[in-house]
Structure formats: C-alpha cells, structure tokens
Chain A
Amino acid sequence: DQQVKQNSPSLSVQEGRISILNCDYTNSMFDYFLWYKKYPAEGPTFLISISSIKDKNEDGRFTVFLNKSAKHLSLHIVPSQPGDSAVYFCAATDYGGSQGNLIFGKGTKLSVKP
C-alpha cells in the first residue's frame, strides 16, 4: 500500500509558465515532507522541504504548499525553465517514529518546453 502517491507520471509545461506537481499521502503520522529532483544518471538532490507545522515554504522559484486536512502537498515552480526538466520525487517521514527514514513517491517527470 503506497503511503506517498504521485498520481501524475509526467507533466509538460511551457517555459515561463507555472509548473504544479502534486503529492498525496495516507499516513497521518508524517510530519515532514521533502521534494527531490533527479536528472538522468544522477542521484536525487534535495530541493525543498516543509514541516507539518507550516502550510507554505518558499525558496526562490520553488514553493511547497501543505494541506494537512487533505493530506496533500504541491510543488510550484514559477517561472519554469528548461533546466527544471527532471523527475521530481515527493518524500515524507515520521521523524518521531522511524528515525527519519523517507518514504518516496514514484515521481513525476517534468518537461519544460522552450
């Protein structure tokens, strides 16, 4: 049973427009959420995170929104750039119970067209 779900395998966006990547989770014990970005033949790299005590965290062009009641988070990229084309993984953890082990979604492949 998937605890972290990314239901869109792929997303295509025009350069300069907004990219919105979605993630749902089922475990109400999760208290910290992260987004990772992965280019082909490389390991995932940490992008942005959010604690369950917040509903928004912003870092430059990247903003993560958390809706705890809906068990949903989203990553907004504004404006999107061709270099943002990659696979984005949503991850979640229950720091209190699992020593920080991350549970990953299947990923969404973002393509930003020039």
Chain B
Amino acid sequence: NAGVTQTPKFRILKIGQSMTLQCTQDMNHNYMYWYRQDPGMGLKLIYYSVGAGITDKGEVPNGYNVSRSTTEDFPLRLELAAPSQTSVYFCASSVPTQSYGYTFGSGTRLTVV
C-alpha cells in the first residue's frame, strides 16, 4: 500500500520556468490537499479538492494551479516560477471523518534560482 506518492523529490527551476508537481494516492480518499512549508514556518494550504472535478483555493494560492480529473491524482502546476516559491511542497489526502488525520506524501523540495 503506497499511500500518497509525490514526484519529483527534488527540483531546481530557473525563474520563469514552469513545472508540475505530481501527487497520486491509492487509498480512494476523496479529499486531497497541497501544502507548502517554508523554513521555520508551519504548513500553509495552497489548494484543496473534495472530489474529482472540484478544487478550491487555500490560504496561499497565487502563482499555482491545480486540477482533479480523477480521485487518485492531484497535480500542482507552477506556471512562472519565482524565488518566493522556493519551498517544500507536501501533498496530502484524507477522508471526511473526524477520526482520520491526513496522510502526507514525503514532499518535493523545490528551489527557484
């Protein structure tokens, strides 16, 4: 049981480049999330999805886009990379019951130079 899988693990981008961070889960969870963690800071919600075809903005959505065409996949797109997007990105999934916490992927460390 793989859980939540994120690729790539590391990436260096040049300013203005674009890329897609991949996230897939095999637990049939309806809810999926993208968080970013800056050094010394907590996790901040970028986007979330409550099911295929439904996405919504979180606390820090600017500069990012998402799509949810299937239950399993929730890719995060950076169109014009900026140094402020240097961070560690975590994807997570959950079921909408109180007894479950989120299941997180292992993260993607992104550096924009």
Does B43 lie within 8 Å of A44, measured CB to CB? yes
Does B31 lie within 8 Å of A99, measured CB to CB? yes
Chain A neighbourhood of B98, CB < 8 A: 32, 49, 51, 95
* Besides A46-B102, A102-B43, A102-B102, 14 new A-B residue pairs in contact (Cβ under 8 A), listed by A number: A9-B40, A34-B101, A43-B90, A43-B104, A43-B107, A46-B103, A49-B99, A99-B31, A99-B96, A101-B33, A102-B45, A105-B42, A106-B40, A107-B42
- B100 nearest CB neighbor, chain A only: A46
Q: Does B76 sit at the interface, judged by CB under 8 A?
A: no
Chain A neighbourhood of B45, CB < 8 A: 101-102
Q: List 13 A-B contacts (CB under 8 A).
A: A6-B42, A32-B98, A41-B107, A43-B4, A46-B100, A46-B102, A46-B103, A89-B43, A95-B98, A101-B33, A102-B43, A102-B102, A106-B41
Interface residues of A (CB under 8 A from B): 4, 6, 9, 32, 34, 36, 41-47, 49, 51, 89, 95, 99-102, 104-107
Contact partner of A36 (CB less than 8 A), chosen from B41, B94, B101, B105, is B101
Does B4 lie within 8 Å of A100, measured CB to CB? no
Does B90 lie within 8 Å of A100, measured CB to CB? no
A99 to B57, CA, bound (A): 12
Question: How near does chain A come to B19, taking the closest CB pair, in angstroms?
Answer: 20
- B104 nearest CB neighbor, chain A only: A43
- A100 nearest CB neighbor, chain B only: B96
Does A49 lie within 8 Å of B101, measured CB to CB? yes
Question: How near does chain A come to B96, taking the closest CB pair, in angstroms?
Answer: 6
- B95 nearest CB neighbor, chain A only: A100
